[in-house]
């Protein structure tokens, strides 16, 4: 019975979301190519700093995933920023990703912590599941900190709670790059962690300092649902709650999509 309901909802969803399809393509940067061949005028720079000791396997897994080069290519073909943002993987003691002074810092330690966590928590069925989950979570952290950075270099004022604004941009970027699985995995891992954690975990430092709450996780999931785009959209048939009216999520996604497009203006290629 529930399968039938999900199927009916899935058939209905595009009708709801397509009502305002004129705005859904405003922030449309699919199929754009970056034609520049040199590095002189790039908006983003990716750096893997030399890994030390226990960070070496993390360095190899992160770089070996090739996900981050693909992400930079997508960003590069989307934005033309007035100053370059460097994304740096780094061997530092801190677990917490951060943005400061034009640099996104992702500690190898963040990756290590969450790889250990998903292994200990029994997440996933195979080692590959666990590794790809942590790579996804690392991409989410990168998107989040990068969103802080993009907003700063474009001198965009916050109208609303900073972390909620950043979450919206994070989901918009991930869904537009057809990696809906990135925010979905992040919420899944943070929810799992919330069930088993004490108050000294990385998520308390990364997620907690940004006042994470169940509301914020729900908002992220709602936006991903509302995106209704990309090859991963069928994921919603699995993660959604049967009977939930998706229309507000579609409208919210459209609203955020349109607003960011207007705010970014000429910074979009």
The residues of the shown chain that bind Zn ion, judged by CB under 5 A, are 210
Choose between 99 and 108: whose C-beta lies nearer to Zn ion: 99
- ∠ CA 41-47-53, nearest 5°, is 170
State the minimum distance, in angstroms, from the CB of residue 159 to Zn ion: 16
User: Is residue 118 within 8 Å of 134, Cβ to Cβ?
Assistant: yes
- State residue 84 phi and psi, 5-degree precision: -75, 140
Helix (H) or strand (E) holding 259: helix 247-264
Choose between 206 and 236: whose C-beta lies nearer to Zn ion: 206
Pairing of strands 103-107, 98-100: antiparallel
Choose between 41 and 101: whose C-beta lies nearer to Zn ion: 101
Return all residues near 93 (Cβ < 8 A) that are at least 6 apart: 107, 109
State the minimum distance, in angstroms, from the CB of residue 125 to Zn ion: 31
State the minimum distance, in angstroms, from the CB of residue 172 to Zn ion: 15
Name the residue with the smallest CB distance to Zn ion.
210
Choose between 45 and 210: whose C-beta lies nearer to Zn ion: 210
Helix (H) or strand (E) holding 127: helix 127-153
State the minimum distance, in angstroms, from the CB of residue 160 to Zn ion: 13
């Amino acid at each position: 019975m529930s399968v039938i309901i999900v199927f009916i909802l899935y058939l209905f969803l595009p009708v709801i979301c397509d009502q305002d399809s004129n705005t859904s393509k405003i922030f449309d940067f699919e199929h754009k190519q970056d034609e520049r061949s040199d590095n002189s005028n790039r908006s983003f720079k990716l750096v893997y700093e030399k890994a030390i000791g226990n960070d070496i396997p993390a360095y190899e897994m992160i770089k070996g995933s090739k996900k981050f080069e693909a992400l930079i290519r997508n960003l590069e073909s989307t934005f033309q920023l007035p100053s370059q943002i460097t994304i740096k993987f780094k061997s530092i003691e801190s677990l917490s990703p951060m943005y400061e002074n034009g640099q996104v810092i992702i500690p190898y330690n963040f990756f290590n912590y969450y790889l250990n966590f998903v292994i200990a928590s029994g997440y996933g069925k195979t080692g590959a599941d666990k590794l790809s989950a942590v790579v996804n979570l690392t991409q989410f952290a990168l998107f989040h900190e990068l969103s802080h950075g993009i907003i700063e270099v474009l001198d965009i004022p916050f109208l609303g709670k900073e972390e909620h604004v950043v979450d919206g941009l994070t989901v918009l970027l991930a869904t537009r790059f057809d990696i809906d699985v990135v925010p979905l995995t992040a919420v899944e891992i943070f929810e799992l962690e919330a069930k088993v954690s004490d108050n000294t975990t990385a998520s308390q430092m990364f997620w907690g300092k940004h006042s994470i709450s169940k509301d914020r996780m729900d908002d992220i999931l709602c936006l991903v649902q509302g995106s209704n785009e990309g090859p991963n959209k069928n994921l919603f048939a699995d993660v959604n709650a049967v009977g939930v009216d998706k229309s507000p999520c579609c409208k919210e996604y459209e609203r955020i999509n349109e607003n960011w497009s207007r705010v970014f203006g000429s910074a979009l290629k």
